[in-house]
Structure 1
Amino acid sequence: MSHDRIRRFLGEHQPRTPCLVIDTSVVAARVRELIAGFPHPRLRYAVKANPEPAVLRAVLAAGGGFDVASPGEIDTCLAQGAAPETLSYGNTIKKPADIAYAFSRGVREFTTDAESDIEHLAELAPGASVTVRMLVDAPASATPFGRKFGCDPAEAAPLLRRAASLGLDAAGVAFHPGSQQADPSAWDNGIAAAAKVFAEVDGLRRLNIGGGFGITYRSPVPTPQAYASAIRACLRAHFPHTPEIVLEPGRAVVAEAGLIRTEVVLVANRDGHRWVYLDIGRYNGLAETENEAIPYRFEPCEGPRGPVVIAGPTCDGDDVLYQRTPYELPLALRAGDRLDILDTGAYTASYSSVSFNGIEPLETYCID
Structure 2
Amino acid sequence: MTDRIREFLRNRRDDGPIMVVDLEVVAENFTKFARALPDTRVFYAVKANPAPEILNLLAEMGSCFDCASVVEIEQAMATGASADRISFGNTIKKEKDIARALQYGVRLFAVDCEAEVEKIARQAEILGARDAKVFCRFLQDCEGAEWPLSRKFGCAAEMAPRVLEHAHRLGLQAYGLSFHVGSQQTNMGAWDAALTTASSIFATLAERGIELKMVNMGGGFPTRYLKDVPAAEAYGAAIFEALTKHFGNRLPETIIEPGRGMVGNAGIIESEVVLISKKSDEDEVRWVYLDIGKFHGLAETMDEAIRYPIRTERDGDAVAPCVLAGPTCDSVDVMYEKKPYDLPVSLSIGDKVLIEATGAYTTTYSTVGFNGFAPLASVCI
Percent identical pairs in the alignment equals 45
2:254 to 245, 253, 260: 245
Map 1:121-200 → 2, pairs under 5 A: 121-125=120-124, 126-127=129-130, 128-200=132-204
* Range moving further from structure 2, 259-268 or 232-241: 232-241
**2:365 counterpart residue number:** 351
**1:306 counterpart residue number:** 320
Equivalent position amino acid for 2:118 in 1: E
Equivalent position amino acid for 2:277 in 1: A
Equivalent position amino acid for 1:151 in 2: C
**2:29 counterpart residue number:** 30
Contact 1:3/1:259, CA 8 A, preserved across alignment: no
1:208 to partner: Cα distance: 0.4
Structure 2 Cα separation of the partners of residues 135 and 350 of structure 1: 25
1:340 to partner: Cα distance: 0.7
Give the secondary structure class of the aligned counterpart of 2:53.
helix
* Range moving further from structure 2, 273-282 or 151-160: 151-160
- State whether structure 2 residue 287 is matched by structure 1 residue 283: no
- State whether structure 2 residue 264 is matched by structure 1 residue 255: yes
Structure 2 Cα separation of the partners of residues 167 and 29 of structure 1: 41
**2:101 counterpart residue number:** 102
Contact 2:137/2:160, CA 8 A, preserved across alignment: yes
Equivalent position amino acid for 2:29 in 1: R
Equivalent position amino acid for 1:284 in 2: H
Give the secondary structure class of the aligned counterpart of 2:145.
coil
Contact 1:138/1:189, CA 8 A, preserved across alignment: no
Count of equivalent residues: 366
- State whether structure 2 residue 43 is matched by structure 1 residue 44: yes
1:338 to 352, 363, 366: 352
**2:213 counterpart residue number:** 205
**1:293 counterpart residue number:** 305
TM-score by length of 2: 0.94
Give the secondary structure class of the aligned counterpart of 1:177.
coil
Equivalent position amino acid for 2:113 in 1: A
Structure 1 Cα separation of the partners of residues 202 and 14 of structure 2: 53
Equivalent position amino acid for 2:271 in 1: T
Structure 2 Cα separation of the partners of residues 14 and 90 of structure 1: 40
1:226 to partner: Cα distance: 1.2
- State whether structure 2 residue 343 is matched by structure 1 residue 329: yes
1:361 to partner: Cα distance: 0.6
Point out where structure 1 has 5 or more consecutive residues left out of the alignment: none
Equivalent position amino acid for 2:299 in 1: A
- Residue by residue, what CA displacement relative to the aligned partner does 1:4-42 show, whole Å, maximum 9, x if unpaired? 211101112333220000111111211111111114111
Structure 1 Cα separation of the partners of residues 42 and 27 of structure 2: 12
Structure 2 Cα separation of the partners of residues 9 and 137 of structure 1: 42
* Range moving further from structure 2, 284-293 or 22-31: 22-31
Give the secondary structure class of the aligned counterpart of 1:264.
strand
* Range moving further from structure 2, 247-256 or 35-44: 35-44
1:93 to partner: Cα distance: 0.6
**1:232 counterpart residue number:** 240
RMSD: 1.2
1:160 to partner: Cα distance: 1.2
- Residue by residue, what CA displacement relative to the aligned partner does 1:80-107 show, whole Å, maximum 9, x if unpaired? 2221111100000111111011111111
Equivalent position amino acid for 1:304 in 2: A
Structure 1 Cα separation of the partners of residues 240 and 339 of structure 2: 35
